[in-house]
């Protein structure tokens, strides 16, 4: 059967950017930057994006585009043997674990959106909002409803496959997301005192740069760009043949970084102009922002727009997470006696997602373990292994010829292969060793 593909270049760009742009940009990035010195963090983050982001996205898209397979078959096709099969299992495992906690945070966004819609934060101070956040997130039945809702929305998109599902949704939601962001940026920059927030975010205080900031920045870079667990391999397998790998990678990186940057531009000026602490942690957008909206004119609209923004960003990411597992199941069963079609796979993955969501809701530990384990260990590990595999594969004449044909000069292939073989693994290992406190 012919593999479905995105109908246009922009389809792939919006889908991949939709995967990358998510809670990582709007919820996580501002609070991690806030805790790690604002501008200083931004600078290191940008360095990570250039060193890891561009080559690794290009690598994953290349794996998918070249093999026209999801991680299940792609590593085998590339290496010519089954020795790398476990790497595909690592990818699905990571995708499944991310789904567990990601749907829960998406549930918080949906729940906050519903409250913003009915004006539920009216008259609440930051203290009451902090208590409110604890109470809402601890309300298991409510959270169950609000977390399963995004699971069902995501399943519905997966059900309609690539063109009618993923591509159509990305083309609808991504422009909406960018528009809402622009409105919010203009709105916030008009607030009195917003400039001190902007200064905090843009001024690099080098005394704040410690080795730990590097680890945080690297983990954030992998998570935010959806690198190291096969999302982009899967999307790459639906990439139009005529699309350029290098251009697509740079475009996705720019979009993702722009959104993270704009999230900072929205959040810090608002935080500063109302005298809050930028290092508020994970609650930053759920506690400080509703409090700020309450003090602004057009408070209802600001709250609704912001949580809508979060919800949209989250959904385009969960769509890509689910696609990794759906495509994997389809391919893994294709040659067995019971091949599963897309719709059956979607039902299975929906079931798995619901079970994990329930687990994360009932066990706070599961939530934290999944969150830490995936971003800080499994994704860098996946990226490290893929990088070594592809780096060595590129030294084969047939692979180099393929890239030459696609417009890569021979020196570019050499440089790409060198970066994948040595630079990326060395940097990731360095960060790992540091994380294990070996120096």
Residues within the interface to ligand PHE (CB under 6 A) = 19-20, 22-25, 98, 223-224, 226, 229, 231, 317, 320-321
Q: Least Å distance between CB 154 and ligand PHE?
A: 11
**Cβ(98)–Cβ(88) below 8 Å:** no
Q: Least Å distance between CB 322 and ligand PHE?
A: 10
**Residue whose CB is less far from ligand PHE, 229 or 360:** 229
Q: What's the Rg (C-alpha) of the chain?
A: 21
Q: State the residue for tokens 């080795």.
A: 211
Q: Least Å distance between CB 26 and ligand PHE?
A: 8
Q: Least Å distance between CB 64 and ligand PHE?
A: 14
Q: Least Å distance between CB 397 and ligand PHE?
A: 33
Cα–Cα distance for residue pair 260/264, rounded to 1 Å: 6
Q: Least Å distance between CB 33 and ligand PHE?
A: 14
**Cβ(127)–Cβ(288) below 8 Å:** no
Q: Least Å distance between CB 164 and ligand PHE?
A: 21
Which of 115, 57, 75 lies closest to 299 in space, CA to CA?
A: 115
**Residue whose CB is less far from ligand PHE, 113 or 413:** 113
**Residue whose CB is less far from ligand PHE, 96 or 213:** 96
**Residue whose CB is less far from ligand PHE, 137 or 226:** 226
**Residue whose CB is less far from ligand PHE, 67 or 257:** 257
**Residue whose CB is less far from ligand PHE, 255 or 413:** 255
Q: Least Å distance between CB 121 and ligand PHE?
A: 24
**Residue whose CB is less far from ligand PHE, 191 or 375:** 375
**Residue whose CB is less far from ligand PHE, 126 or 154:** 154
Q: Least Å distance between CB 231 and ligand PHE?
A: 4
**Residue whose CB is less far from ligand PHE, 57 or 413:** 57
Which of 350, 429, 377, 411 lies closest to 223 in space, CA to CA?
A: 377
**Residue whose CB is less far from ligand PHE, 18 or 39:** 18
Q: Least Å distance between CB 23 and ligand PHE?
A: 4
Q: What backbone torsions phi and psi does residue 373 show, to the nearest 5 degrees?
A: -60, -45
């Amino acid at each position: 059967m012919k593999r479905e593909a995105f109908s246009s270049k922009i389809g792939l760009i919006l889908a991949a950017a939709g995967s990358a742009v998510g809670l990582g940009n709007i919820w996580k990035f501002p609070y991690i930057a806030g805790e790690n010195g604002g501008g200083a963090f931004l600078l290191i983050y940008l360095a990570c994006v250039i060193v890891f982001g561009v080559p690794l996205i290009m690598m994953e898209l290349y794996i998918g585009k070249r093999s026209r397979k999801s991680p299940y078959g792609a590593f085998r096709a590339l290496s010519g043997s089954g020795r790398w099969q476990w790497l595909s299992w690592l990818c699905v495992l990571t995708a499944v674990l991310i789904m567990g906690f990601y749907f829960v945070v998406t549930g918080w966004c949906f729940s906050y959106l519903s409250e913003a819609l009915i004006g539920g934060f009216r008259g609440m101070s930051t203290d009451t909002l902090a208590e409110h956040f604890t109470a809402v997130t601890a309300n298991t039945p409510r959270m169950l409803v609000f977390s399963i809702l995004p699971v069902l929305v995501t399943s519905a998109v997966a059900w309609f496959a690539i063109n009618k599902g993923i591509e159509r949704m990305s083309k609808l939601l991504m422009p909406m997301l960018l528009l809402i962001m622009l409105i919010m940026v203009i709105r916030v920059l008009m607030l009195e005192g917003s400039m001190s927030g902007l200064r905090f975010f843009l001024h690099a205080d080098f005394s704040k740069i410690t080795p730990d900031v590097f680890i945080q920045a690297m983990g954030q870079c992998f998570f935010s760009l959806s690198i190291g667990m096969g999302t982009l391999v899967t999307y790459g397998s639906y990439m139009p043949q005529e699309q350029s790998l290098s251009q697509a990678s740079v475009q996705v990186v720019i979009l993702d970084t722009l959104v993270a940057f704009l999230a900072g531009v929205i959040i810090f000026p608002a935080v500063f102009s109302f005298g809050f602490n930028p290092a508020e942690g994970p609650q930053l957008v759920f506690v400080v922002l509703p409090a700020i909206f309450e003090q602004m004119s057009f408070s209802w609209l600001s709250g609704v727009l912001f949580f809508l923004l979060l919800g949209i960003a989250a959904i385009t990411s969960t769509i890509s997470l689910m696609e990794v597992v759906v495509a994997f199941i389809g391919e893994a069963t294709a040659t067995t006696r019971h091949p599963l079609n897309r719709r059956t796979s979607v039902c299975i993955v929906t079931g798995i997602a619901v079970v994990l969501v329930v687990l994360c809701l009932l066990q706070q530990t599961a939530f934290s373990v999944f969150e830490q384990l995936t971003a800080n260990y499994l994704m860098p590990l996946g990226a490290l292994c893929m990088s070594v595999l592809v780096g060595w594969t590129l030294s084969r004449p047939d692979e180099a010829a393929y890239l030459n044909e696609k417009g890569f000069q021979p020196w570019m292939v050499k440089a790409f292969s060198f970066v994948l073989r040595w630079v990326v693994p060395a940097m990731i290992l360095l960060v790992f060793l540091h994380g294990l406190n070996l120096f």
